[in-house]
Amino acid sequence: MDTQLSPHVRPMIEGDLDAVMAIEVASYAHSWKAEHFFHEIAGSCSWPFVAVEDGHVIGYVCLMSLFEEAQILNVAVQPGHRGRGIARLLLEQAFRVAREKGAETMALEVRASNAAAISLYEKLGFIRVGIRRGYYESVEDAVLMEKPLL
């Protein structure tokens, strides 16, 4: 069990899935299923991480890295812990691992209405590179963003 008081990041394990799912459901109207996270834990090109504080999972990020491109597939922080830099901590870990795996670019998709996430991504060096019309539930657009990792 993690006992550090300040937030730290470690690889996601199967035992984290209940906490991860609670954050996922609290964060997204159309959430991933536990099987999606299990697939990320087991995947050979996937590196999911959790942020842990005082022994409790308070956030997660799912990174996929293959050849020169890495992607953030999912990221969320427990509602009561938002605005404390937890997402930044998780994303910085994802950047480090993607670089170690040889990625040159990090990509992600974000809901056009998620101004807080877009602002964070831009502060971290992402730029908007496109739009996927009606991507979410065939209604909301996705903003495509990329960040160079070199």
Q: Is the pLDDT of residue 37 over 60?
A: yes
CB 59 within 8 A of CB 23: yes
Q: 0.85 exceeded by the pTM? A: yes
Confidence at 5, pLDDT banded by 50, 70, 90: low
**DSSP label at 30?**
S
Which numeric CATH code is attached to 8-107? 3.40.630.30
Distances in whole angstroms, Cα of residue 138 to Cα of each of 33, 109, 110: 19, 15, 14
Structure tokens at 110: 């974000």
Express each pLDDT in 70-103 by its tens digit.
999 999 999 999 999 999 999 999 999 999 999 9
Confidence at 30, pLDDT banded by 50, 70, 90: confident
Q: Which residues, other chains included, contact 124 with Cβ-Cβ below 8 Å and sequence gap of 6+? A: 88, 91, 92, 147
Task: Please identify every residue annotated as catalytic.
Answer: 109, 121
Distances in whole angstroms, Cα of residue 87 to Cα of each of 11, 81, 130, 133: 15, 10, 23, 26
Looking up tokens 């877009």, which residue turns up?
118
